[in-house]
């Protein structure tokens, strides 16, 4: 099969966003779009046109309007790759820091995450396109906690986390499990970009200083996972 066009929708990971170390000063984290993001790498190294419609901070709740906006590109594509979940499972940490005794909801609770992601798959299929899901990359709980609690009451946030920053990782992984489950339920391929990090003994070295965004080396791992999947599915010439 000759692949001519792939469309990509997702958040900052798909966009290729990394921490801009040079301009991140005085504890103020700045970001930039790297030309070594996995989508850009795949485009250059595979010679396949990839239209990357990912947006920083995007969730499945926001995805449909962007998908409808680019419906013509989707209809002309061979595959549509989706990468969502990292922002969906995030919280308003300033509100938690101010009131740790209260109940707080993530950006997109799991039932809505599954329902909305499922609807996206159905819409794309109805246009004749072939959806593919990406699992979530790992996160570094310690670095991520330090990042999210900057300027906030870290003790209150830790209290809300029941005293363990590892609950950040466990909550993140719950959404990852839902992605794999959704792939099985909807009969949609899921490319595992989680394991390529975990198989590295120094897996946290493949993340930026914020503990959540893959760095350039991490994007290389994601590219490898995608290329490996495409080869196993006979989508690339050997």
The tens digit of pLDDT for each residue in 191-206 reads 999 999 999 999 999 9
The answer to whether residues 131 and 78 touch, using CB atoms and an 8 Å cutoff, is: no
In a domain, 101, yes or no: no
Reference 209, options 90, 31, 13; nearest CA is 31
Would you call 184 helix, strand, or coil by DSSP? helix
Question: Stretch 62-89: mean pLDDT, rounded?
Answer: 96
- Alpha-carbon span 111 to 226, nearest angstrom: 28
Determine what percent of the chain is predicted with pLDDT higher than 90.
89
What b/e sequence results for 10-44 when a residue is b if at least 16 CB atoms lie within 10 Å of its CB, and e otherwise? Answer: bbbbbbbbbbeeeebeeeebebeebebbbbbbbbe
Question: Stretch 118-132: mean pLDDT, rounded?
Answer: 97
Domain that holds residue 123: 5-90+108-139+178-232
In a domain, 134, yes or no: yes
Determine what percent of the chain is predicted with pLDDT higher than 70.
98
**CATH number of the domain enclosing 15:** 3.40.50.1110
Q: How many CA atoms lie within 13 A of 137 on its CB side?
A: 33
Question: Stretch 154-164: mean pLDDT, rounded?
Answer: 98
Per-residue confidence band for 238, with pLDDT thresholds at 50, 70 and 90:
very low
pLDDT given for residue 1 in this prediction: 67
pLDDT given for residue 235 in this prediction: 79
Higher-confidence residue of 48 and 11: namely: 11
In a domain, 189, yes or no: yes
- Alpha-carbon span 131 to 124, nearest angstrom: 7
Residues 6+ apart with CB under 8 A from 174: 89, 110
What total of structural domains would you count in the chain?
1
In a domain, 120, yes or no: yes
In a domain, 167, yes or no: no
In a domain, 99, yes or no: no
Q: What does pTM read for this prediction? A: 0.94
pLDDT given for residue 237 in this prediction: 55
Q: How many CB atoms lie within 10 A of CB 184?
A: 10
In a domain, 38, yes or no: yes
In a domain, 169, yes or no: no
């Amino acid at each position: 099969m000759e692949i001519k066009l792939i469309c990509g929708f997702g958040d900052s990971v798909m966009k290729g966003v990394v921490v801009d170390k040079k301009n991140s000063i005085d504890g103020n984290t700045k970001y930039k779009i790297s030309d070594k993001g996995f989508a850009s790498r795949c485009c250059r190294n595979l010679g396949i046109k990839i239209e990357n419609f990912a947006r920083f901070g995007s969730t499945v709740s926001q995805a449909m309007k962007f998908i409808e906006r680019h419906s013509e590109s989707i209809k002309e594509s061979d595959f549509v790759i989706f990468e969502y979940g990292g922002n969906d499972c995030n919280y308003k940490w300033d509100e938690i820091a101010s009131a740790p005794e209260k109940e707080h909801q993530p950006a997109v609770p799991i039932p809505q995450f599954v329902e909305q992601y499922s609807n996206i798959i159905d819409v794309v299929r109805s246009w004749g396109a072939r959806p593919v899901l990406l699992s979530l990359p790992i996160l570094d709980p310690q670095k991520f906690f330090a990042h999210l609690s900057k300027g906030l009451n870290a003790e209150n946030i830790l209290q809300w986390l029941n005293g363990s920053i590892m609950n950040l990782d466990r909550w993140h992984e719950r959404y990852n499990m839902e992605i794999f489950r959704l792939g099985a339920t909807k009969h949609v391929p899921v490319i595992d970009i989680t394991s390529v990090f975990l198989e590295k003994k120094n897996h946290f070295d493949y993340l930026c200083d914020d503990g959540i965004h893959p760095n350039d080396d991490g994007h290389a791992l994601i590219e490898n996972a995608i290329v490996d999947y495409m080869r196993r599915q006979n989508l690339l010439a050997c």
